Amino acid sequence: MLSKKTKYGLKALTFIARNEGDMPVQVSKIAKSEQIPSKFLEGILLTLKKAGVLGSKKGKHGGYYLRKEPSEILMTEVMRVLEGPIAMVPCVSLNYYEKCDDCPDEHKCSVHKLMIEVRDSTLKVFRNTTLADLSNTKR
């Protein structure tokens, strides 16, 4: 299941991509428009900021803005930040590999083989999709 965190995060990014002029966008505006609990969203955007996807400006008239063009923000990046590893098992994860306790030999493991295929096909989608696709903006 996709977590609410990721769902909200994607919606928020889409909103920001669509509403970006010169001014940063406030959490409260996004929360209201997208029906997301404001305090919860606060934490999500903070995470995206720490990961380098968003920038922020504090104080009055502050808010969040994209640090790259929507077309340069890949879903691989966003999903990894919000949802964690793309692979369904650590033993096929590219970025967070871990050996299984059980499994004496990975190459003979039936689950391993299947999960590599799933990972690759999902990765293909995420690598081919940017925030520009989600938000229908051209940049």
Partner DNA sequence: GTAATCCCTACTAAATCGATAGGATTAATA
Partner DNA sequence: TATTAATCCTATCGATTTAGTAGGGATTAC
Asked whether position 67 contacts DNA by CB under 7 A, the answer is no
Asked whether position 88 contacts DNA by CB under 7 A, the answer is no
Instruction: Output the smallest distance, CB 49 to DNA, in A.
Output: 5
Cβ count within 10 A of residue 3: 11
* 114, 119, 121, 122: CA torsion to nearest 10: 140
Asked whether position 39 contacts DNA by CB under 7 A, the answer is yes
Asked whether position 39 contacts a copy of itself by CB under 8 A, the answer is no
When the beta carbons of 71 and 81 are compared against DNA, the nearer one is 81
Among DNA, a copy of itself, none, the one that 10 touches (CB under a kind-dependent 5 to 8 A) is: a copy of itself
Asked whether position 85 contacts DNA by CB under 7 A, the answer is no
Q: Compute the Cα dihedral for 13, 82, 28, 11 and give only its sign.
A: positive
